[in-house]
Amino acid sequence: MRVLVVEDARALADVLVEGLRDQGMAVDAAHDGLAAAARIDANAYDVVVLDRDLPGIHGDVLCRMITEGGGRAMVLMLTAADAPGDRVGGLTLGADDYLTKPFHFPELVARVRALARRRPFVRARTLRAAGVELDPARRTATRDGRRLDLSVKEFAVLEALLDAAPAFLSAEDLLEKAWDEHADPFTNTVAVTISRLRRKLGGPAVILTTPGVGYRVADPAP
Protein backbone atom coordinates (compact mmCIF):
# COMPACT_ATOMS: atom_id res chain seq x y z
CA MET A 1 0.00 0.00 0.00
CA ARG A 2 1.36 3.42 -0.91
CA VAL A 3 0.37 6.47 1.15
CA LEU A 4 1.04 10.19 0.82
CA VAL A 5 1.04 12.24 4.03
CA VAL A 6 0.34 15.93 3.37
CA GLU A 7 0.99 17.87 6.57
CA ASP A 8 2.72 21.24 7.00
CA ALA A 9 3.65 20.60 10.65
CA ARG A 10 6.90 18.75 9.99
CA ALA A 11 7.18 17.13 13.42
CA LEU A 12 3.72 15.60 13.06
CA ALA A 13 4.43 14.62 9.45
CA ASP A 14 7.59 12.79 10.55
CA VAL A 15 5.66 10.89 13.22
CA LEU A 16 2.95 9.90 10.75
CA VAL A 17 5.45 8.79 8.10
CA GLU A 18 7.53 6.66 10.46
CA GLY A 19 4.47 5.19 12.17
CA LEU A 20 2.81 4.19 8.90
CA ARG A 21 6.07 2.75 7.59
CA ASP A 22 6.28 0.63 10.72
CA GLN A 23 2.87 -0.75 9.70
CA GLY A 24 4.31 -1.95 6.40
CA MET A 25 3.18 0.90 4.18
CA ALA A 26 5.25 2.75 1.59
CA VAL A 27 4.92 6.39 2.65
CA ASP A 28 5.92 9.72 1.08
CA ALA A 29 5.44 13.16 2.60
CA ALA A 30 4.67 16.65 1.36
CA HIS A 31 4.62 19.77 3.52
CA ASP A 32 2.58 22.07 1.28
CA GLY A 33 -0.10 21.79 -1.35
CA LEU A 34 2.19 22.46 -4.31
CA ALA A 35 4.60 19.67 -3.38
CA ALA A 36 1.65 17.35 -2.75
CA ALA A 37 0.16 18.07 -6.17
CA ALA A 38 3.50 17.27 -7.82
CA ARG A 39 3.80 13.95 -5.98
CA ILE A 40 0.23 12.98 -6.80
CA ASP A 41 0.94 13.64 -10.48
CA ALA A 42 4.10 11.52 -10.35
CA ASN A 43 3.00 8.55 -8.20
CA ALA A 44 0.01 6.24 -7.84
CA TYR A 45 -1.15 6.48 -4.23
CA ASP A 46 -3.75 4.30 -2.57
CA VAL A 47 -4.52 6.79 0.23
CA VAL A 48 -3.72 10.48 0.78
CA VAL A 49 -3.72 11.64 4.41
CA LEU A 50 -4.50 15.32 3.89
CA ASP A 51 -4.22 18.22 6.30
CA ARG A 52 -6.83 20.82 5.48
CA ASP A 53 -5.05 24.11 6.23
CA LEU A 54 -2.05 23.94 3.89
CA PRO A 55 0.22 26.60 2.38
CA GLY A 56 0.68 26.75 -1.38
CA ILE A 57 -2.56 25.05 -2.34
CA HIS A 58 -5.22 24.84 0.34
CA GLY A 59 -6.23 21.34 1.42
CA ASP A 60 -9.80 21.90 0.23
CA VAL A 61 -8.60 22.72 -3.29
CA LEU A 62 -6.18 19.79 -3.28
CA CYS A 63 -8.93 17.43 -2.13
CA ARG A 64 -11.15 18.48 -5.00
CA MET A 65 -8.22 18.09 -7.43
CA ILE A 66 -7.65 14.53 -6.23
CA THR A 67 -11.27 13.44 -6.23
CA GLU A 68 -12.11 15.05 -9.58
CA GLY A 69 -8.89 14.02 -11.28
CA GLY A 70 -9.95 10.46 -12.04
CA GLY A 71 -7.21 8.85 -9.95
CA ARG A 72 -7.65 5.95 -7.58
CA ALA A 73 -6.41 7.63 -4.38
CA MET A 74 -8.77 7.74 -1.41
CA VAL A 75 -8.60 10.86 0.79
CA LEU A 76 -8.49 10.90 4.59
CA MET A 77 -8.82 14.52 5.66
CA LEU A 78 -6.89 15.13 8.87
CA THR A 79 -7.53 18.48 10.53
CA ALA A 80 -8.04 20.39 13.75
CA ALA A 81 -11.36 21.75 12.43
CA ASP A 82 -13.76 19.52 14.35
CA ALA A 83 -17.14 21.27 14.19
CA PRO A 84 -19.94 19.25 12.54
CA GLY A 85 -20.09 21.79 9.73
CA ASP A 86 -16.36 21.35 9.09
CA ARG A 87 -16.75 17.58 8.78
CA VAL A 88 -19.71 17.94 6.45
CA GLY A 89 -17.79 20.48 4.38
CA GLY A 90 -14.78 18.18 4.07
CA LEU A 91 -16.89 15.24 2.98
CA THR A 92 -18.78 17.43 0.54
CA LEU A 93 -15.48 18.31 -1.11
CA GLY A 94 -15.03 14.63 -1.88
CA ALA A 95 -12.97 13.39 1.07
CA ASP A 96 -13.62 9.70 1.76
CA ASP A 97 -13.08 10.00 5.51
CA TYR A 98 -12.46 12.74 8.08
CA LEU A 99 -10.39 12.50 11.28
CA THR A 100 -9.89 15.37 13.70
CA LYS A 101 -6.79 16.27 15.69
CA PRO A 102 -5.82 15.16 18.26
CA PHE A 103 -6.31 11.53 17.28
CA HIS A 104 -5.23 8.06 18.35
CA PHE A 105 -2.65 6.65 15.95
CA PRO A 106 -4.17 3.11 15.88
CA GLU A 107 -7.44 4.67 14.71
CA LEU A 108 -5.61 6.50 11.93
CA VAL A 109 -3.98 3.23 10.81
CA ALA A 110 -7.33 1.44 10.85
CA ARG A 111 -8.96 4.19 8.78
CA VAL A 112 -6.13 4.21 6.23
CA ARG A 113 -6.40 0.43 5.81
CA ALA A 114 -10.19 0.62 5.52
CA LEU A 115 -9.91 3.27 2.79
CA ALA A 116 -7.38 1.19 0.88
CA ARG A 117 -9.81 -1.74 0.90
CA ARG A 118 -12.61 0.50 -0.38
CA ARG A 119 -10.72 2.07 -3.27
CA PRO A 120 -12.00 1.39 -6.78
CA PHE A 121 -10.98 -1.92 -8.35
CA VAL A 122 -9.62 -3.27 -5.06
CA ARG A 123 -9.40 -7.03 -4.89
CA ALA A 124 -10.82 -9.39 -2.31
CA ARG A 125 -9.78 -8.86 1.28
CA THR A 126 -7.81 -12.11 1.40
CA LEU A 127 -5.37 -12.63 -1.48
CA ARG A 128 -4.78 -16.20 -2.62
CA ALA A 129 -2.55 -17.87 -5.21
CA ALA A 130 -0.47 -21.06 -5.44
CA GLY A 131 -1.34 -22.18 -1.92
CA VAL A 132 -0.35 -18.83 -0.40
CA GLU A 133 -2.92 -16.73 1.46
CA LEU A 134 -2.42 -13.17 2.72
CA ASP A 135 -4.81 -11.04 4.74
CA PRO A 136 -3.72 -7.37 4.55
CA ALA A 137 -6.06 -6.26 7.33
CA ARG A 138 -4.87 -8.86 9.86
CA ARG A 139 -1.27 -8.75 8.60
CA THR A 140 -1.14 -12.54 8.30
CA ALA A 141 0.27 -14.78 5.58
CA THR A 142 0.32 -18.56 5.23
CA ARG A 143 1.47 -21.18 2.77
CA ASP A 144 -0.52 -24.40 2.72
CA GLY A 145 -1.79 -23.47 6.18
CA ARG A 146 1.69 -22.81 7.61
CA ARG A 147 2.07 -19.37 9.17
CA LEU A 148 4.79 -17.22 7.60
CA ASP A 149 6.91 -14.93 9.77
CA LEU A 150 7.61 -12.05 7.38
CA SER A 151 9.35 -8.73 7.76
CA VAL A 152 7.51 -5.54 6.85
CA LYS A 153 9.05 -5.37 3.36
CA GLU A 154 8.68 -9.11 2.72
CA PHE A 155 4.98 -8.82 3.54
CA ALA A 156 4.59 -5.78 1.27
CA VAL A 157 6.32 -7.52 -1.64
CA LEU A 158 4.26 -10.68 -1.23
CA GLU A 159 1.06 -8.61 -1.05
CA ALA A 160 1.98 -6.82 -4.29
CA LEU A 161 2.78 -10.09 -6.07
CA LEU A 162 -0.42 -11.79 -4.92
CA ASP A 163 -2.49 -8.75 -5.85
CA ALA A 164 -1.04 -8.85 -9.36
CA ALA A 165 -1.07 -12.67 -9.78
CA PRO A 166 -0.75 -14.27 -12.24
CA ALA A 167 0.76 -11.23 -13.95
CA PHE A 168 4.41 -10.24 -13.67
CA LEU A 169 5.73 -7.31 -11.67
CA SER A 170 9.11 -5.83 -12.54
CA ALA A 171 11.62 -4.77 -9.90
CA GLU A 172 10.59 -1.18 -10.66
CA ASP A 173 6.93 -2.08 -10.06
CA LEU A 174 7.81 -3.58 -6.69
CA LEU A 175 9.88 -0.55 -5.72
CA GLU A 176 6.84 1.60 -6.56
CA LYS A 177 4.44 -0.51 -4.50
CA ALA A 178 6.53 -1.55 -1.48
CA TRP A 179 9.04 1.26 -1.02
CA ASP A 180 8.82 5.05 -1.08
CA GLU A 181 10.15 7.64 -3.50
CA HIS A 182 13.58 7.66 -1.83
CA ALA A 183 14.30 4.03 -2.76
CA ASP A 184 17.36 3.72 -5.02
CA PRO A 185 16.27 2.01 -8.26
CA PHE A 186 19.85 0.87 -8.90
CA THR A 187 20.22 -1.22 -5.75
CA ASN A 188 19.51 -4.93 -5.46
CA THR A 189 17.10 -4.44 -2.57
CA VAL A 190 14.20 -6.06 -4.47
CA ALA A 191 16.26 -9.13 -5.38
CA VAL A 192 17.47 -9.49 -1.79
CA THR A 193 13.94 -9.22 -0.41
CA ILE A 194 12.64 -11.75 -2.97
CA SER A 195 15.44 -14.16 -2.01
CA ARG A 196 14.55 -13.94 1.69
CA LEU A 197 10.86 -14.31 0.90
CA ARG A 198 11.50 -17.44 -1.15
CA ARG A 199 13.40 -19.02 1.73
CA LYS A 200 10.53 -18.36 4.12
CA LEU A 201 7.94 -19.67 1.66
CA GLY A 202 9.93 -22.89 1.22
CA GLY A 203 9.81 -25.31 -1.68
CA PRO A 204 8.72 -25.87 -4.26
CA ALA A 205 9.20 -22.29 -5.41
CA VAL A 206 6.06 -20.28 -6.12
CA ILE A 207 7.77 -16.94 -6.86
CA LEU A 208 8.95 -17.35 -10.43
CA THR A 209 11.40 -15.09 -12.23
CA THR A 210 11.64 -14.33 -15.93
CA PRO A 211 14.82 -12.34 -16.76
CA GLY A 212 14.02 -8.98 -18.28
CA VAL A 213 10.34 -9.29 -17.31
CA GLY A 214 10.06 -9.63 -13.54
CA TYR A 215 8.50 -11.76 -10.82
CA ARG A 216 5.17 -13.46 -10.36
CA VAL A 217 3.42 -15.90 -8.04
CA ALA A 218 2.27 -19.08 -9.78
CA ASP A 219 1.81 -22.78 -9.06
CA PRO A 220 5.17 -24.58 -9.15
CA ALA A 221 5.97 -26.51 -12.31
CA PRO A 222 5.05 -30.22 -12.03
Query: What does each of the 222 residues of the chain score in pLDDT, given as a tens digit?
Result: 899 999 999 999 999 999 999 888 889 999 999 999 999 988 889 999 999 889 999 999 999 888 887 667 899 998 886 666 666 665 677 889 999 888 999 999 999 998 988 876 555 568 999 999 998 877 899 999 999 999 989 999 999 999 888 899 999 889 888 887 767 766 789 999 999 999 999 989 999 999 989 999 998 766
Q: Are strands 26-30 and 140-143 parallel, antiparallel or unpaired?
A: unpaired
Q: Name the residue range of residue 80's domain.
A: 2-118
Final residue belonging to a domain, choices 118, 142, 168:
118
CA 198 to chain centre: 22
Q: For residue 158, what are the contacts with CB-CB under 8 A and spacing of at least 6?
A: 132, 134, 141, 150, 197, 217
**Domain end marker among 118, 152, 187:** 118
Q: How far apart are CA 167 and CA 98, in angstroms?
A: 35
Residues 97 and 160 in one domain: no
Residues 10 and 109 in one domain: yes
In a shared domain, residues 16 and 76: yes
Q: Domain tally for the chain?
A: 2
